Chains A and B, each alone.
Chain A
């Protein structure tokens, strides 16, 4: 017995206009520092039903910590919203999930949000996610990530009750996404599709979403990078990224995410960049136990990038995109990296991604992968 869970997804041209038909009275719009200065929050406000009010929480940082996420909570409680709308990348949508949860359950803390208990949310409000990047999958997922500043690690919350009610996939929201973010978030999405496909909790639904999601992303991403304003190709990557999100959200992430979260929290690197560094190494590590499944995914790679093994194809693609292939290339100094190696090992070893990774990895294996990921003469 297992589940397949998904939000209602509104996709395609003018998907945003659907907001007007929802019974929204008071909406909290959660967005980040970069988007606040653009017309995006305004577009969302204009799409709301006539007469509705909105409160914009617009100062979310990249990789936010709990204090940054929650310092408007009192103002939100006074406002008494009936909807939360996360607009942005993973950080904004995850913040919207956490604010929604804490608004619904003021008696709980973020550490109480686990899938092991019933939270009883949606007594006062509901949740919408409008991604402005194509990759995190947060709009479809049951997870939210926050950075613990003191411990330099990431905390992963998860609950089926924080899956958004609606995910709005409007190509207009990603058409002007800068190249760097387009690449990092696409790498994240590719990692979701591959990790979801071999997870110990994989199932026919997650398989289907991994395969189709990967096919859409791989088929259109090179075109998007060459011609960023091509709406058709942008829409394909956007939908593909959500499909990859639906895969991992229903089957779980794996070792590349466990390692990526550990690295990203310690050195403040973008999530997509960190998981991309580990993905080929993890694929090689897992291959002895799920090589046949990897071969099936490898067949989806365009010929220009396809190597004999999936790890090789992933490397070819990421190299062509100009992604960092080692921690060293990502700009982390050798001395600093190896001084904190044991903390990276223990933080990765306590990630939920470890239990669902198809091949068991203990601290010895994690240390070895982290050492190899540095590159050069590790």
Chain B
């Protein structure tokens, strides 16, 4: 079991993502780094960041930190409070509906992002494959 969010969770997640053929298929043409931002709330007391360098269906590099200045600047940021992350990983929230209902926020160029909704879905499906402890 890996505690979310943590360095251990991030590396297990990346390993699972890199062996997920469905993700690779859906993100074949995706180029862009993203930082998953876990905002503190009543259930978790500090902000946490998982930086992922995603390229053509694979995660080339990643880094976990509680300090954003320690991470490269990403092209996209997907952020939400800890409790919503827990619901997302437990598949109670759809990643796109999560943005549309204000539970998550996406920052970055919107130009082609809607073409990768299936990749986003597979990223969340991968997260729920990690044995997670909250």
Using a CB–CB cutoff of 8 Å, the interface residues on chain A facing chain B are: 1-3, 111-112, 114-117, 156, 158, 200-201, 346, 349-352, 354-356, 360, 362-364
Contact with A along B93-133 (1 / 0, CB 8 A): 01011011101001000111111111011000000000000
> CB within 8 A of A201: which of B97, B112, B113, B118?
B97
- Please tell me if the beta carbons of B97 and A355 are within 8 angstroms of each other in the complex: no
- Please tell me if the beta carbons of B26 and A349 are within 8 angstroms of each other in the complex: yes
> CB within 8 A of B117: which of A2, A112, A354, A363?
A354
- B57 CB to nearest A CB, Å: 11
Contacts of A2 in B (CB 8 A): 97, 101
Beta-carbon nearest neighbor of A350 in chain B = B115
Which of B22, B26, B29, B113 has the most A CB atoms < 10 Å from its CB?
Answer: B26
Contacts of B117 in A (CB 8 A): 352, 354-356
Q: What's the Cα separation between A112 and B109 when bound, in Å?
A: 8
- Please tell me if the beta carbons of B100 and A116 are within 8 angstroms of each other in the complex: yes
- A36 CB to nearest B CB, Å: 32
- Please tell me if the beta carbons of B22 and A360 are within 8 angstroms of each other in the complex: yes
Task: Give the total number of A-B pairs whose CB atoms are below 8 A apart.
Answer: 57
- Please tell me if the beta carbons of B25 and A363 are within 8 angstroms of each other in the complex: yes
> CB within 8 A of A117: which of B26, B110, B120?
B110
Contacts of B22 in A (CB 8 A): 360, 362
Q: Interface size bucket, B side?
A: 20 to 34
Q: What's the Cα separation between A364 and B28 when bound, in Å?
A: 13
- Please tell me if the beta carbons of B113 and A114 are within 8 angstroms of each other in the complex: yes
Which of A112, A350, A352, A364 has the most B CB atoms < 10 Å from its CB?
Answer: A350
Q: What's the Cα separation between A277 and B100 when bound, in Å?
A: 32
Contacts of B111 in A (CB 8 A): 111-112
> CB within 8 A of A116: which of B103, B113, B115, B116?
B113
- Please tell me if the beta carbons of A200 and B94 are within 8 angstroms of each other in the complex: yes
Q: What's the Cα separation between A158 and B22 when bound, in Å?
A: 26
Q: What's the Cα separation between A354 and B26 when bound, in Å?
A: 10
14 A–B contacts, CB within 8 A, in A order:
A3-B100, A114-B110, A114-B113, A116-B106, A349-B25, A350-B29, A350-B116, A352-B115, A354-B118, A355-B117, A360-B22, A362-B22, A363-B28, A364-B25
Contacts of A115 in B (CB 8 A): 100
Q: What's the Cα separation between A3 and B100 when bound, in Å?
A: 9
Q: What's the Cα separation between A356 and B28 when bound, in Å?
A: 19
Q: What's the Cα separation between A2 and B103 when bound, in Å?
A: 11
